[in-house]
Amino acid sequence: MSEIEGGCACGAVRFKISGELMGTGVCHCRSCQYGTGGGPNYVVLAPRAGFTVTKGEAKIHTSKADSGNEVGRAFCAECGTPLYTATGEGMPFLPVKVGALDDPSVFQPQIHLYMEDAQPWHLTHEGLPQFPKMPPFG
């Protein structure tokens, strides 16, 4: 079983992903632009059952997603590092920010999403599927 570890820049919050990732993505939505300081968000999808915060506690800022569901953005209250998205119980995965992984080089982009919010100067990877909003799941 594969295991990926990560945490924030100051070390106050640590987490672990056990099991296979359920995908990866590059999200260009406006909310992600706030979360990254301007760029799209690079995320790996951790299986919900395999994601564990192993040290400290992330602060979660909750807002409404365009689906109408509440979405929580988890970050370190000490250093501000964006960590993961606390999705609702119904979602089988949690998107985890690649920058918070101990080894971000494991990331391989698979899709671009929320392209309708992308800034004209956002870069996209040649040949990857692009979706105006959320891709259809299932």
Site track for Zn ion across 71-110, x = CB under 5 A: -----x-xx-------------------------------
Q: Minimum distance from CB of 127 to Zn ion (Å)?
A: 21
Question: Which one, 30 or 49, has the nearer CB to Zn ion?
Answer: 30
Burial of residue 127 (CB within 10 Å: 0-12, 13-18, 19+) is: exposed
Site track for Zn ion across 6-35, x = CB under 5 A: --x-x-x--------------x-x--x---
- The answer to whether 8 touches 100, Cβ cutoff 8 Å, is yes
The residues that touch Zn ion, with contacts defined as CB under 5 A, are: 8, 10, 12, 27, 29, 32, 76, 78-79
